[in-house]
């Protein structure tokens, strides 16, 4: 007897539902989800450019800096613009000289926005490439990272900051390491650093991965490759006035204005500017890195994509937690790393993980920042640090079955693929 229409329809719906769940929860479909994300983001960015007003912040200053350099000035102390002196390494100048040339001397803002939309899509492709290699992150967990972030879209296509460009190089570096292209990754790391020095926050994790993979001597050779790249990029300015270049492009004592802080609004301005406070933050930063190096990173014996991502991203995140100040554009420094840090198997439930990410997004979207938004951001950071501390880093080793994570079909929680010797309690 032929099946009735209701049975056929129910079976078809169930089959489509199962396929949809597989698409969203099985890491082997991350690239497929990435294709849909690419198309959705193309439409969304076009809508934003067309409907949302561009806000001038640093673009005109970038153009002024390039113009002074084009006029023959190589002394970094004499290059600046409306919002202040040039404080970025030389690759920043080279990139924005190119952008100046193809945007009618920087006057064609709409064309610049289109170019930054392309940067956004390139960044999306690279980041999806990274998450494609992480078996512990489900495809649905990266969708909101892109589509739901108001601030990230703004930084790319409405503000035209240099921070996202630096991060494109950095994520390319991470992907190159995952593909065992370590010489290329050294060059890409140097390129990222020579756009903006915040990339140094990744340096401890970067150095550790090379040391673990190659030992001290060969790691030094790769480090020299990054050093040579940096020297080549900065050569004209180093030859003109090396001290001026290094003091401006890699200024560790740079002061931040209290009015722009996202993370320390609950402090008084005097305390925010206090040198002892800055020293305490530095001590906490160094202490955090030492703690993770000794108790977490050193437990990892294999250099796998999961190890590369967690070590690099945790290194940067620790620095973000103890930064003297975070400005709105700094969100791009860690936004796309958060799913890898939050959705650790067996630590936080998906519900709690989404709440944490929502708190981070809410804090960064509050303008101007408030006592409550800054406190909320720190609370979210504390939860993420706690989850990194609780996570069993030995589970990242190849011989561990823990890495072979099974996903719950309804997409709510990771099954933790438990090791026989240890289980984690999940926080609900």
* pLDDT level of residue 419 (50, 70, 90 thresholds): very low
The CB-side HSE value for 209 (13 A sphere, CA atoms) comes to 29
Please give the distance of CA 145 from its chain centroid, rounded to a whole number.
11
Instruction: State the chain's mean pLDDT as an integer.
Output: 91
Is residue 135 in some structural domain?
yes
86-115: per-residue pLDDT in tens? 999 999 999 999 999 999 999 999 999 999
Is residue 412 in some structural domain?
no
H helix intervals, 71-193: 90-102, 109-132, 140-147, 150-153, 163-178, 182-193
Q: What is the tally of structural domains in the chain? A: 1
| Range of lowest pLDDT (1-5, 215-219, 326-330) | 1-5
Residue range(s) defining the domain that contains residue 87: 29-251+263-403
Instruction: Tell me 263's DSSP state.
Output: S
149-169: per-residue pLDDT in tens? 999 999 999 999 999 999 999
Q: What was the pLDDT predicted at 346? A: 85
Is residue 22 in some structural domain?
no
Q: What was the pLDDT predicted at 164? A: 98
Is residue 323 in some structural domain?
yes
* pLDDT level of residue 210 (50, 70, 90 thresholds): very high
CB 402 within 8 A of CB 418: yes
**Measured distance CA(240)–CA(230) in Å, rounded:** 16
Q: What was the pLDDT predicted at 417? A: 40
| Burial tier of 192 (Cβ tally within 10 Å: 0-12, 13-18, 19+) | buried
| DSSP codes joined into one string, 219-253 | HHHHHHHHHHHHHHHHHHHHHHHHHHHHHHHT-TT
Is residue 427 in some structural domain?
no
Is residue 416 in some structural domain?
no
In sequence order, what are the residues at sequence separation of 6 or more whose Cβ sits closer than 8 angstroms to the Cβ of residue 88? 162, 195, 196, 197, 249
The C-alpha R_g of the chain, in whole angstroms, comes to 23
Question: Average pLDDT, stretch 57-66?
Answer: 97
Q: What was the pLDDT predicted at 412? A: 41
**What are the CB-based long-range contacts (under 8 Å, 24+) for 323-327?**
323/263, 323/281, 324/256, 324/278, 324/281, 325/256, 325/258, 325/260, 325/261, 325/262, 325/263, 325/264, 325/272, 326/261, 326/262, 326/263, 326/377, 327/256, 327/260, 327/261, 327/262
Q: 422: which strand partners?
A: 419
CB 141 within 8 A of CB 343: yes
Q: What was the pLDDT predicted at 397? A: 86
In sequence order, what are the residues at sequence separation of 6 or more whose Cβ sits closer than 8 angstroms to the Cβ of residue 363? 262, 369, 373, 374, 376, 377, 380
Q: What was the pLDDT predicted at 18? A: 80
CB 262 within 8 A of CB 377: yes
For the entire predicted model, the pTM comes to 0.91
Which is higher by pLDDT, 254 or 235? 235
| Range of lowest pLDDT (136-150, 182-196, 283-297) | 136-150
CB 344 within 8 A of CB 387: yes
Is residue 267 in some structural domain?
yes
| Burial tier of 231 (Cβ tally within 10 Å: 0-12, 13-18, 19+) | exposed
110-142: per-residue pLDDT in tens? 999 999 999 999 999 999 999 999 988 999 999
304-363: per-residue pLDDT in tens? 999 999 999 999 999 999 999 999 999 999 999 999 999 998 899 999 999 999 999 999
Is residue 92 in some structural domain?
yes
In this predicted structure, the answer to whether residue 16 has a pLDDT above a threshold of 60 is yes
CB 314 within 8 A of CB 292: yes
């Amino acid at each position: 007897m032929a099946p009735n229409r209701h049975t056929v329809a129910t079976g078809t719906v169930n089959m489509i539902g199962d396929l949809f769940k597989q698409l969203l929860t099985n890491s082997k479909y991350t690239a497929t989800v990435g294709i849909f994300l690419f198309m959705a983001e193309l439409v969304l960015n076009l809508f934003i450019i067309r409907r949302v007003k561009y806000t001038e912040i640093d673009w005109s200053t970038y153009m002024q800096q390039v113009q002074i350099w084009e006029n023959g000035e190589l002394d970094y102390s004499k290059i600046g613009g409306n919002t202040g002196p040039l404080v970025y390494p030389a690759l920043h100048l080279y990139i924005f000289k190119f952008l100046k040339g193809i945007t009618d001397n920087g006057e064609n803002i709409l064309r610049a926005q289109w170019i930054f939309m392309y940067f956004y899509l390139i960044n999306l492709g690279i980041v999806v490439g990274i998450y494609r290699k992480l078996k512990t992150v489900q495809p649905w967990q990266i969708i909101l990272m892109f589509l739901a972030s108001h601030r990230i879209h703004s930084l790319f296509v409405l503000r035209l900051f240099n921070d996202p460009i630096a991060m494109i190089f950095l994520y390319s570096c991470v992907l190159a390491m995952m593909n065992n292209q370590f010489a290329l990754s050294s060059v890409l790391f140097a390129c990222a650093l020579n756009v903006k020095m915040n990339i140094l926050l990744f340096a401890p994790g970067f150095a550790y991965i090379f040391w673990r993979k190659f030992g001290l001597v060969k790691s030094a050779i790769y480090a020299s490759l990054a050093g040579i790249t940096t020297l080549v990029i900065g050569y004209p300015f180093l030859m003109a006035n090396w001290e001026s270049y290094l003091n401006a492009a890699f200024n560790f004592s740079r002061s931040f204005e209290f009015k722009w802080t996202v993370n320390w609004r609950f402090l008084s301005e005097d305390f925010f500017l206090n040198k002892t406070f800055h020293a305490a933050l530095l001590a906490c930063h160094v202490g955090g890195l030492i703690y993770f190096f000794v108790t977490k990173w050193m437990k990892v014996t294999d250099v796998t994509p999961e190890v590369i991502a967690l070590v690099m991203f945790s290194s940067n995140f620790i620095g973000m937690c103890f930064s003297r100040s975070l400005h709105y554009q700094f969100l791009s420094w860690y936004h796309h790393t958060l799913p890898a840090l939050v959705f650790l198997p067996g630590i936080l439930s998906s519900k709690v993980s989404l709440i944490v990410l929502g708190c981070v997004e809410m804090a960064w979207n509050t303008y101007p920042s408030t006592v409550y938004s800054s406190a909320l951001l720190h609370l979210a950071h504390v939860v993420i640090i706690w989850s990194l501390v609780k996570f069993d880093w030995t589970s990242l080793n190849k011989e561990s079955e823990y890495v072979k994570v099974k996903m719950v079909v309804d997409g709510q929680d990771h099954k933790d693929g438990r090791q026989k010797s240890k289980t984690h309690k999940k926080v609900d």
